[in-house]
Amino acid sequence: MVTIGEMSSAAPVSTTGSGAPARVPTTLDSISLEMLELVGRQDPEIAAVLAGEAERQESTLELIASENHVSPAVMHAMGSWMTNKYAEGYPGKRYYGGCAWHDQAENLARDRAKQLFGCGFANVQPHCGANANIAAFMALLNPGDTVLSLPIKSGGHLSHGLKVNFSGIFYKIAEYNLDPNTEMLDYDAIERIALEVKPKVLLCGYSAYSRTIDFARFRAIADKCGARLMADIAHIAGLCATGVHPSPFPHAHVVTTTTHKTLRGPRGGMILTNDAELATLIDRRVFPGSQGGPLMHIIAAKAIAFGEALRPSFKVYSEQVVRNARALAEALVARKYRLCSGGTDNHLMLVDLRTRDAELTGADAEKWLERAGIICNKNGIPNDPRPPVQTSGLRLGTPALTTRGLGEKDMDTVAQWLDRVMGARGEEAECAKVREEVRAFCARFPLPH
Ligand code: DSN
C-alpha cells in the first residue's frame, strides 16, 4: 500500500523542480496546478498526460462542434468527493446509506434542468447521450417496434438506428432523408413516409444538421401517424435553453440530450418530459433498466453547469455562438467552399471539400489541420460517395471558440488558416507556419481557468 508520505516522495515528472510536469500552461488556475503537482508526485506518467492535454487545449483551436470548455467550477466539481459514493436509486429512495448530500445535488440538478428547459421532469443520471437514448427507447418502445429517424450518413446519430448500435439491433428502423436539392429536412416527404410506415416513435434532432428544426411540424406529423415524438437535442441544447433555437417543448413527448456540447457542462446525458406517466417509466428505464450507480460527481457538475446556463450571460454566449458560426460560414463561402444546405442557422456547418479541391477528403483535411493546431472532424456529407473513414466533408462548430472569447471578426482569420492548410494540401512548412500563428493567437484567448 502506498501512503501519502510515500506518494509525496515519488519522483516528480517535471523538470520544473516543483513536482509539476513540464509544459504546464501558465494560465492554469491554482487548483489545477496543485492537482498536477499532486498527481505528478504519485504518477508522473499520467501527470504528463494531463498536462499535455491541458497544453493541447490551450494552444489549439477547437472546432469540433460537439466539444466545449467547461468553467473551473464545473471542472473541479467533477474531481470531488462525490465520486466516492454509490447512490443507486433516486433522491429520497436510495439503495445505500449516506446519500443526503447526493440527494441535494441531484435535486438541484433536476430542478435547474426543468427551469432551463421549461418542462416538468428531468432525469439527470444518464452517463452520456447514447445512454439517455437507450433509456428513452426502452420507455417509449418494445423491442421490434418501429422508429422513424434520419440515418447517420445524412446527419443523424448512431443511437438513432445504426444497424450495429443497440437501436438498430433491437428496433425496426425506418428512414427519412434530407431533400437532395436543398439538403434540408423535407417535412412533406417525412409526413408521407410516416403515414406509410406508422412508426411508434418519430425521432428528430441531429449530429450534423446546420438548420433550424421545426419541432411543431414534427409533432403535427407524429400526431397524424399516431407516433410519439422524441427530440434528441444533444447538439443544440444550449441554444434551445436560451431561446436561440426554438424549444422542443411543448411539442416533443420525450427530449434527450447530452450536457457537454452547446450546454457547456460535464460529459453526460439527460432525459426530459412533460408527461407524468412517461416520467415514471423513464426513471425506471434509466435505473434499474440500463444503468447502475449514478456518477454523482458528474451530477453535481451538471447542477453547476445548469446554474451557469440560467444566467443572462449564457444567452449572450449562445447568441454569439450562432453569430460566429454565421461569420465563419460566410468567410468560407467567400473562399469558394460549398456548405451543405448553403449555410447555417445554429452552431455548426458541414463543408463540402470537393468544391475547393476534387481530390480533398475529410480525413486528409482533419489530419493536416491538426498539424496546424486546428482541431475538427471529418464528416460525411449528404449522399457522400466516400466511405465514413474518408468522407468528403468537414464538420465545423463554434461553441468552444466562443467560450474562449473569439468574436465574428476572428472568424475570417480562422477561415484564412483553414484555407491555407487545405490549399497547401497539408504541406509541412505551411502547416508549421500556421501552427505558430495559431499558437500565438490562442495565447490571447486563454481557456476559462
Ligand atoms: N459524437 C457526437 C458528435 O460529435 O456529434 C455525437 O454524440
pLDDT digits (tens, 9 = 90+) for 355-384: 988 999 999 999 999 999 999 999 999 999
Q: Is 129 in the pocket of ligand 1 (CB under 6 A)?
A: yes
Cα–Cα distance measured from residue 46 to residue 40, given in angstroms and rounded to the nearest whole number? 7
Is 258 considered catalytic here?
A: yes
Let me know the angle formed at the C-alpha of 332 by 431 and 152, rounded to the nearest 5 degrees. Answer: 90
Summarised one tens digit per residue, pLDDT across range 245-299 is: 999 999 999 999 999 999 999 999 999 999 999 999 999 999 999 999 999 999 9
- Catalytic, 23? Answer no
* Alpha-helix residue ranges (DSSP H) falling in 343-387: 362-371
Residue-level pLDDT at 10: 37
* pLDDT tens for each residue of 70-95: 999 999 999 999 999 999 999 999 99
As a whole number of angstroms, the distance between CA 292 and CA 301 comes to: 19
Pairwise CA distance, residues 241 & 247, whole Å:
7
Q: What is the dihedral of CA 79, 81, 86, 87, to 10 degrees?
A: -90
Is 208 in contact with 348 (CB distance < 8 Å)?
A: yes
Evaluate: CB of 395 within 6 angstroms of ligand 1.
no
Most informative mutation of 207, 260, 350, 375 for ligand 1 (most atoms within 8 A of CB) = 207
Asked if 103 and 91 touch (Cβ cutoff 8 Å), the reply is yes
Identify whether 367 is a catalytic site residue.
no
Q: What is the pLDDT of residue 27?
A: 85
Cα gap 257→79, rounded to integer Å: 23
Is ligand 1 within 6 A of the CB of residue 211? no
The pLDDT value given to residue 19: 60
| Cβ-based neighbour number of residue 436 at 10 Å | 11
Q: Which residues of the chain fall below pLDDT 70? A: 1-22
Q: In terms of DSSP bridges, do strands 348-352 and 338-339 run parallel, antiparallel, or are they unpaired?
A: antiparallel
Question: Which pLDDT score, from 0 to 100, does residue 7 have?
Answer: 37
In angstroms, the CA 144 to CA 121 distance is 27
Q: Distances from the Cα of 351 to the Cαs of 328, 389, 415, 448, in angstroms?
A: 11, 16, 12, 29
pLDDT in the model for residue 101: 98
> What are the grid coordinates assigned to 193, written together?
413516409
> What is the three-class DSSP state of 123?
strand
- Determine whether 273 is an active site residue: no
Confidence at residue 4, expressed as pLDDT on a 0 to 100 scale:
34
pLDDT, residue 18, reads 56
Give the pLDDT confidence score for residue 113 in this predicted structure.
99
- Residues 310, 168 contacting (CB under 8 angstroms): no
- Is 265 within 8 Å of 302 (Cβ atoms)? yes
Verify whether residue 95 is a known catalytic residue. no
Q: How far is the C-alpha of 122 from the C-alpha of 109, rounded, in Å?
A: 9
Count the Cβ atoms, other than its own, within 10 Å of residue 168.
18
Specify the pLDDT at position 449: 75
Which residue's CA is the nearest one to ligand 1's atom 4? Answer: 66
Alpha-carbon gap, residue 19 to 101, rounded angstroms: 34
8 A C-beta contact, residue 38 and residue 82: no
Helix (H) or strand (E) holding 180: none
The one catalytic residue in 58, 106, 191, 232 is 232
Q: How far apart are CA 218 and CA 99, in angstroms?
A: 41
The three-point CA angle 370-374-379 to 5° equals: 75
